[in-house]
Structure 1
Amino acid sequence: MLSKKNLSERDICTKYITPAIETAGWNRFSQYLEEVSFTDGKIYVKGKLTARGKQKRADYILYYKPNIPIAIIEAKDNQHAVGAGMMQALDYAHILDIPFVFSSNGDGFLFHDRTATAGTVETELALADFPSPAALWARYKQAKGLTSPVAARLAEQDYYLDGSGRRPRYYQQIAINRTVEAIARGQNRVLLVMATGTGKTYTAFQIVHRLWKSGAKKRILFLADRNALLDQTKKGDFKHFRDKMHVIEKHQVEKSYEIYLALYQGLTGSEEERNIYKQFSPGFFDLIVVDECHRGSASEDSSWRDILTYFSGATQIGLTATPRETEDSKNVEYFGNALYTYSLRQGINDGFLAPYRVVRIATNIDLDGWRPDDGKTDTRGELVEDRVYNLKDFDRKLVVAERTELVARKITEFLRGHNRMAKTIVFCVDIDHAERMRSALANQNPDLVREDHRYVMRITGDNELGKQQLENFTDPASKYPVIATTSELMTTGVDAQTCQVIVLDSNISSMTKFKQIIGRGTRINEDYGKLFFTILDFRQATNLFADPAFDGEPERVKEVPEGQDLSNLEKEEAADDTADIIDEVSGEVVEFPEPEPPVAEEPKIRYPTDPDDEDPDDTDPGGPGLKRRKIYVNGVDVTVLLEREVVFDEHGKPVTVKLTDYARQKVQEHFATLDDFLSTWHGSDRKAAILQELEEQGVPVAPLRAAVGPDVDLFDLLCHVAFDQPPLTRQERARNVRKRDYFTRYGPQARRVLEALTDKYADQGLDDLANVKLLTATPFTQLGSPLEIFREFGGKPQYLQAVHELERELYRQA
């Protein structure tokens, strides 16, 4: 019989930890789970391929009720000390917001009380002394301030479960529990900050359901600012309220329902009789949920704030992905500090949000500005004012036809190499720009437009046909529309689960707007193969990645040289096997000339106000509804320029030192000496280990390879950059092996196999020479079947040993 010291960790759980838990009164079927994976694993992108990283997994999570995780246990085998798992358990407990933490090796438990504010924090317990559910719940209530019976009952109220097996993710669970518990303690203003695509509406539904079901809140108002958001809420997560729910429409006020959905705009107006919300008494609603509260509700002088002030006696919960903190609009001043924040970076690292790649495309006139030739006239035949026009002017004040055509061509090139049916959103300066871009894209894709005119559509606030197609665009099962050109309408509240390409051709200076736009692509839909997305940036808007207010780094930023065909971009990346698994690599910030001083006032021409154009500089000071007339020109030489490449470090900060110096510093932080590096490299999983370390350090392999030489493999690249070793090309290493007469120790046929492997390495830089799948392709098929080849070496193990020795010989140091 095995002694306790020889038992595996799983055996320790089965024989000692689980019995101790159950003896203390924890129910096997409802109060604890074993080996609980609480993240999905970060998605890594390699060309068009993706791979998942490791999930975070707890050995045990204990629940007082299904909605209240209360304790976590980390198990170790008996060769470890009882507290050996405590550091990992505390890390997981911090992530999961769990107060009570245990580590065990089967001899007993080390108990850490995260709620303790004085006295002993950690205590050793015998197996028989594991605390009961009631004991931990009493501690929990005391620590959370849920001391009254009413507050405790509210905190214990279960989630809504619809029978599908869907349960809140760990971060949603934290947001729900913190909100319900805060309200149970009497807090009446709550702010939740959750990145786009992380399920804010589902979280809100679970909060509302628990408060409503418990009787704590009987009449509830859900406020949104767009019909699309309201429709998604009604047909989506809130559908479970069924006949208890009512959508407030103008002039249709019903007071017999319990759950109300409404648009801000539907409740307010410029005339007193249009302020429909006043038909309800100030105390009618017990709870108001404010979706996308970074918009008008945060501003003190907005009519939207008037609604919240009128119902000030109600508990109010603000939901946003981007809290707004400007001089005139502050979420925190109204709702208080965020009760919980789940960021874009956390969502990507956990694998719940899609990572993204960035391709920057800069034209000559974008970078250098455009100055008209002497006597240059616009399309109306009027003289164009002589000054330098730059990116801030293009498509807002000055329209260059060739620039629009170039952008449309580059988008089309990329889609040809990626997937021409990939859902794509093109963000434009305004409605006029969105329409011209739609037309240019249609001209670039006549074959697909002929198949279905909805291949490219303008979806803007003024266009009913386009808005009618918005639901089809966001429906994963709907083929059309494929490309949507827009300006403001689709920046927020559009649940585009399968959007694979975001095109930025709009000047974006607002971090709030930037985050919202990026959020259109962050949703994952594995059923439809959507695991990452690409940003095509024509306006250098991705400079905002370097802003401290941005919290999610891109997979990489790649500059596009003049004349490069974007349809080949992914093929080129896929060919470089080491380049595309690199994480947190970005492109260099490009400086632009400051805008010129305002020009002399132009004639006041009345144009219809563009509901999607929010740029105040574009409004004529002469009065409402007056717009500056744009200048339209053609015959301008517009080309793509090559720009320098810069990377972001592992914290998302731009690297300003020389790339090779930065890489040297990061590699040497983990491998202090060449011997340390060689020891890891010669391990069985050397390349996977090295790449993992590089990812964590934020070291960019692709730009390094370009700087050192394309024929140098990862081994020589890192030896050269980090340890000043002279880099050898793959061809040189292969020649050195042949010079040493290494192959003469083998028989003729075995020698031919190893020589063919060496040739493959020299030509292609194979990742894994030991991969037996190589033997199913030429030239190996001409040397025999895999079984016959193994026989030449004395069997498969002997073949693999020979290949391993060949690898060592290839990387032998002089």
Structure 2
Amino acid sequence: MLDKKTLSERDICTKFITPAIEKAGWDKMSQYLEEVSFTDGKIYVRGRITARGEQKRADYILYFKPNIPIAIIEAKDNRHRVGAGMQQALNYARILDIPCVFSSNGDGFLFHDRTATDGNLETELALDAFPTPEMLWEKYKTFKGIVTPEAERITIQDYYFDGSGRKPRYYQQIAINRTVEAIAKSQNRILLVMATGTGKTYTAFQIIHRLWKSGAKKRILFLADRNALIDQTRRGDFKHFRDKMTVVKQRQVDKSYEIYLALYQGLSGSTEDANIYKQFSPDFFDLIIIDECHRGSAKEDSAWREILSYYKNATHIGLTATPKETKETSNIEYFGDPVYTYSLKQGIDDGFLAPYRVIRIGLDIDLEGWRPPKGFKDKNGKVVEDRIYNRTDFDTNLVVEERRKLVVKKISEFLKGYDRFAKTIVFCCDIEHAEAMTSLLRNENADIAGENYKYVMQITGDNDEGKRELDNFINPEEKYPVIATTSELMTTGVDAQTCKVIVLDSEIKSMTKFKQIIGRGTRINEEYGKLYFTILDFRNVTDLFADKDFDGDPIRVKPVSEETDLVDIIDEEETDTTPIIDEITGAEIEIAKPAPRYPQNETSSTVQEGPREKVFVNGINVSVLVSREMYFDNQGKPITTSLKDHTKKIIHEQFASLDEFLRKWNNMEKKEALIEELQNQGVLVEALYDAVGREVDLFDLICHVAYDQPPLTRKERANNMKKRNYFTKYGEQARKVLEALLDKYADEGIENIESMEVLKVKPLTDYGSPVEIIKEFGSREKYLEALKDLEKELYKSA
């Protein structure tokens, strides 16, 4: 008779759970998946080494259609209760937007029904009573509010599959499903908020494809305000639309297509003739996707909002990583609350976005201010106004040459110690600043820039050669340019997959702009070794990480009844200077700038003609006052307490006493598992090593920081053990192996000797192959037992 208690969790799945769900009518080929990893695992940066954390993995996910997950099952072995996996399953169901949740130990199922309203939230089911697909589909429709046959027909339309194996990630799947379901229920204004680098365009493509194929939407317009966005979309995810798609160009309106891509600037102008959008009837499009909707038409009085108003009967979907909510501008007012938000923090935690290191460099004149000595003259011989100049003045009103040179020196020093060919974006105050920094960076890196000046390129709206190099900068296969200096042009719409360094030398107060800039580094490209990025911050811009709005849901700021201000505030992000080129004639299209709503008082003394002239000075001593790395907790917020206090708090939450920690440490099969567990809780292992010492064992680091124990180095621990003559109980060859492992520990740490791979490297290979070494101990089990005893003895004094 089979004893269930002796079976592993996988055996329980194979022998009991899988047969039960198949008996209920679930098709193995299309309706359920086993051991589904739906995240990639958070990336941890340890010095220059990166490691992936644990993936989130469901034992079973059940689908009504390939695009609609409707149930999740968490399995446990039979030594657990039937509902032991429910808590984990509910957490995964919440993340995956799934209504029907099951836990099983092979005896039956505990069913948690998230649609229940009658008090029967959880019920136990016999093994042979698992619900059919049709039963759970009815639950899903209730959960989603799908009540009409037409809404159901639209909802079950499949994704586009191209045979490559690519399919939407879990969060894209949720975004697509919620959008399609909202439209199926006649919602006509929809907002999707997804962090930069999470695939908004691919998500938009799948939404369009499902609605188009189902016949719910027949003519679709994709709107953007930059050439780069249209071009990336057309050549990228939208390429599958092939001959059904066209790009709208001025003076060319062909109404025979079904998918249209267009620039706001290409559809509208200052004269009625230039308003190309009016050549289409107001009801021509029934779906409009607005990319980067925080710009362009975000304001109620924007000239470009007229286009959306003209097509007011169409469904409008806004896509953005940074919804804009100010007293003047509100995405939520127009689109409503987001149907789904996937944040930067979620993307980093899931391992789909690159984490970041932040190094803040504070210059003395930035932090303390600078006041010119009496009679101090600028480079033109004019006396500099006597006042205290601070960080907001530098490079906008006052240019201190020594400051710029020092910034360039620190950037170059970092790259020389890291990777001189790491793609780097330097964000400057304006075009003049970017131009000057380009020259200084070339001089500081003359050995490379002398051979190829494209090592550093100015990529700004006024620099044609630089703009032509933008594609090469974002192309992982192109070596040059390496360093790009910019002001506004590269804040958004630039898919720089291999950007490894972002330099902030500009005053950035806008949270929207800050998020967009950080987004330039968040993409991952494992093939080219891009798994994290570094921010060099010269202006304390990264204070914005501590702002509650950095990773929170958008909150509406603009009151419904508030009168708009009499002074029109021009959004810097709406004034893209990228020229729009007619692809037929090659000529630049003139775009009329929206006029202010209210005439300005030309006689007002506060109105300044043109940009303020900068004052250039030199001969000033500038030095680095402070340079340090910022650390972040596992919620992504800057750590404001000391590193020691932060670590102590986390350790004490897990282990109330030193004895409790020692028991856990000694009982762990592999110490690396505990190290990973502590990292997941927010212990900054690499930072602790930097603070206490690289020669110290992690065990001693924790005992020292959390429990005030004097730390021993690894070599001291190893030498103490050797003095006790512990190895005499083993044969000569086995003893030599253990001594070599102990030396390996002293050099590299406990994690390295726990792996069987250590037997394949010097000096262990001197004692034979892994098989021969293990034979000296009698068996693999005996070798592992000896290794375990070595570890116990190593930490015996503790």
TM-score (norm 1): 0.86
**Counterpart of 1:128?**
128
**Counterpart of 1:489?**
489
Aligned residue for 2:297, secondary structure, equals helix
**Counterpart of 1:660?**
644
Label 1:537 to 1:80 Cα distance change in 2 as closer, same or farther (>3 A). same
**Counterpart of 1:367?**
367
Alignment equivalent of 2:703, drawn from 707, 710, 719: 719
**Counterpart of 1:238?**
238
Label 1:481 to 1:678 Cα distance change in 2 as closer, same or farther (>3 A). same
Q: State whether residues 430 and 610 of structure 1, in contact with CA within 8 Å, keep that contact through their aligned partners in structure 2.
A: no
Structure 1 residue 663, shift from structure 2 partner: 2.4
Label 1:392 to 1:786 Cα distance change in 2 as closer, same or farther (>3 A). same
Structure 1 residue 414, shift from structure 2 partner: 2.1
Taking the aligned partners of 1:370 and 1:634, their CA distance within structure 2 comes to 12
Q: Which amino acid aligns with 1:533?
A: F
Q: Which amino acid aligns with 1:225?
A: D
Structure 1 residue 664, shift from structure 2 partner: 2.0
Instruction: Confirm or deny that 1:407 pairs with 2:417.
Output: no
Let me know the Cα RMSD of the aligned residues. 3.1
Q: State whether residues 41 and 53 of structure 2, in contact with CA within 8 Å, keep that contact through their aligned partners in structure 1.
A: yes
Taking the aligned partners of 1:253 and 1:330, their CA distance within structure 2 comes to 32
Label 1:768 to 1:10 Cα distance change in 2 as closer, same or farther (>3 A). closer
1:15-35 per-residue CA deviation (whole Å, 9 max, x = no partner) reads 332222222222222222222
Equivalent positions of 1:455-474 (< 5 A) are 455-474=455-474
Equivalent positions of 1:730-749 (< 5 A) are 730=714, 732-734=716-718, 736-737=720-721, 740=724, 742=726
Structure 1 residue 653, shift from structure 2 partner: 3.8
Equivalent positions of 1:316-465 (< 5 A) are 316-465=316-465
Equivalent positions of 1:31-46 (< 5 A) are 31-46=31-46
Taking the aligned partners of 1:791 and 1:256, their CA distance within structure 2 comes to 76
Instruction: Confirm or deny that 1:683 pairs with 2:667.
Output: yes
Structure 1 residue 104, shift from structure 2 partner: 2.2
Structure 1 residue 199, shift from structure 2 partner: 0.5
Structure 1 residue 434, shift from structure 2 partner: 0.9
Structure 1 residue 110, shift from structure 2 partner: 2.0
Q: Which amino acid aligns with 1:679?
A: R
Q: State whether residues 679 and 685 of structure 2, in contact with CA within 8 Å, keep that contact through their aligned partners in structure 1.
A: no
Taking the aligned partners of 1:79 and 1:752, their CA distance within structure 2 comes to 42
Structure 1 residue 48, shift from structure 2 partner: 2.6
Label 1:525 to 1:779 Cα distance change in 2 as closer, same or farther (>3 A). closer
Label 1:310 to 1:179 Cα distance change in 2 as closer, same or farther (>3 A). same
Equivalent pairs counted in the alignment come to 754
Q: State whether residues 30 and 66 of structure 2, in contact with CA within 8 Å, keep that contact through their aligned partners in structure 1.
A: yes
Structure 1 residue 758, shift from structure 2 partner: 5.8
Aligned residue for 2:112, secondary structure, equals strand
Equivalent positions of 1:137-156 (< 5 A) are 137-156=137-156
Q: Which amino acid aligns with 1:415?
A: L
Structure 1 residue 623, shift from structure 2 partner: 5.4
Alignment equivalent of 2:614, drawn from 626, 630, 640: 630
1:512-560 per-residue CA deviation (whole Å, 9 max, x = no partner) reads 11111111111112222222111111211111111112239xxxxxxxx
Equivalent positions of 1:165-244 (< 5 A) are 165-244=165-244
Label 1:308 to 1:758 Cα distance change in 2 as closer, same or farther (>3 A). same
Q: State whether residues 370 and 389 of structure 1, in contact with CA within 8 Å, keep that contact through their aligned partners in structure 2.
A: yes
Structure 1 residue 747, shift from structure 2 partner: 7.7
Q: State whether residues 431 and 610 of structure 1, in contact with CA within 8 Å, keep that contact through their aligned partners in structure 2.
A: no
**Counterpart of 2:71?**
71
Taking the aligned partners of 2:779 and 2:214, their CA distance within structure 1 comes to 69
Label 1:799 to 1:340 Cα distance change in 2 as closer, same or farther (>3 A). closer
Taking the aligned partners of 1:266 and 1:440, their CA distance within structure 2 comes to 38
Structure 1 residue 288, shift from structure 2 partner: 0.9
Q: State whether residues 670 and 754 of structure 2, in contact with CA within 8 Å, keep that contact through their aligned partners in structure 1.
A: no
Taking the aligned partners of 2:133 and 2:762, their CA distance within structure 1 comes to 64
Instruction: Confirm or deny that 1:536 pairs with 2:527.
Output: no
Taking the aligned partners of 2:765 and 2:206, their CA distance within structure 1 comes to 60
Taking the aligned partners of 1:25 and 1:317, their CA distance within structure 2 comes to 37
Taking the aligned partners of 1:243 and 1:397, their CA distance within structure 2 comes to 52
Q: State whether residues 426 and 503 of structure 2, in contact with CA within 8 Å, keep that contact through their aligned partners in structure 1.
A: yes
Q: Which amino acid aligns with 2:544?
A: L
**Counterpart of 1:13?**
13
Equivalent positions of 1:791-806 (< 5 A) are 804-806=788-790
**Counterpart of 2:676?**
692
Q: Which amino acid aligns with 1:672?
A: A
**Counterpart of 2:315?**
315
Q: Where does the alignment leave 5 or more consecutive residues of structure 2 unmatched?
A: 553-574, 579-592, 597-601
Further displaced range: 85-94 or 1-10: 1-10
Q: Which amino acid aligns with 1:160?
A: Y
Q: Which amino acid aligns with 1:808?
A: K
**Counterpart of 2:656?**
672
Alignment equivalent of 1:649, drawn from 620, 633, 647: 633
Q: Which amino acid aligns with 1:671?
A: F
Further displaced range: 747-756 or 386-395: 747-756
1:573-626 per-residue CA deviation (whole Å, 9 max, x = no partner) reads xxxxxxxxxxxxxxxxxxxxxxxxxxxxxxxxxxxx9959x9x9xx99775860
Label 1:533 to 1:647 Cα distance change in 2 as closer, same or farther (>3 A). closer
Label 1:311 to 1:748 Cα distance change in 2 as closer, same or farther (>3 A). closer
Taking the aligned partners of 2:258 and 2:774, their CA distance within structure 1 comes to 74
Q: Which amino acid aligns with 1:699?
A: V
Structure 1 residue 795, shift from structure 2 partner: 8.3
1:654-712 per-residue CA deviation (whole Å, 9 max, x = no partner) reads 44444433322221110112111111222354532442233233233455455556654
Label 1:662 to 1:229 Cα distance change in 2 as closer, same or farther (>3 A). same
Taking the aligned partners of 1:192 and 1:144, their CA distance within structure 2 comes to 17
Structure 1 residue 783, shift from structure 2 partner: 9.0
Q: Which amino acid aligns with 1:664?
A: K
Structure 1 residue 801, shift from structure 2 partner: 5.3
**Counterpart of 2:524?**
524
**Counterpart of 2:105?**
105
Taking the aligned partners of 2:365 and 2:215, their CA distance within structure 1 comes to 63
Further displaced range: 699-708 or 534-543: 699-708
Taking the aligned partners of 2:139 and 2:768, their CA distance within structure 1 comes to 71
Q: Which amino acid aligns with 1:245?
A: M
1:142-189 per-residue CA deviation (whole Å, 9 max, x = no partner) reads 332322221111111111112212111111111111111111111010
Q: State whether residues 219 and 287 of structure 2, in contact with CA within 8 Å, keep that contact through their aligned partners in structure 1.
A: yes
Label 1:202 to 1:705 Cα distance change in 2 as closer, same or farther (>3 A). closer
Q: Which amino acid aligns with 2:634?
A: E
Q: State whether residues 650 and 698 of structure 1, in contact with CA within 8 Å, keep that contact through their aligned partners in structure 2.
A: yes
Label 1:52 to 1:764 Cα distance change in 2 as closer, same or farther (>3 A). closer
Taking the aligned partners of 1:771 and 1:71, their CA distance within structure 2 comes to 38
Aligned residue for 2:362, secondary structure, equals coil
Q: Where does the alignment leave 5 or more consecutive residues of structure 1 unmatched?
A: 553-608
Structure 1 residue 463, shift from structure 2 partner: 1.5
Equivalent positions of 1:267-346 (< 5 A) are 267-346=267-346
Label 1:116 to 1:189 Cα distance change in 2 as closer, same or farther (>3 A). same
Structure 1 residue 742, shift from structure 2 partner: 4.9
Taking the aligned partners of 1:717 and 1:500, their CA distance within structure 2 comes to 30
Further displaced range: 763-772 or 274-283: 763-772
Equivalent positions of 1:468-617 (< 5 A) are 468-551=468-551, 611=577
Label 1:79 to 1:489 Cα distance change in 2 as closer, same or farther (>3 A). same
Taking the aligned partners of 1:78 and 1:737, their CA distance within structure 2 comes to 42
Taking the aligned partners of 1:360 and 1:402, their CA distance within structure 2 comes to 19
1:192-239 per-residue CA deviation (whole Å, 9 max, x = no partner) reads 000000000110111111111111111211111111001011111111
Taking the aligned partners of 2:128 and 2:737, their CA distance within structure 1 comes to 63
Label 1:447 to 1:256 Cα distance change in 2 as closer, same or farther (>3 A). same
Taking the aligned partners of 1:732 and 1:117, their CA distance within structure 2 comes to 64
Q: State whether residues 286 and 314 of structure 1, in contact with CA within 8 Å, keep that contact through their aligned partners in structure 2.
A: yes
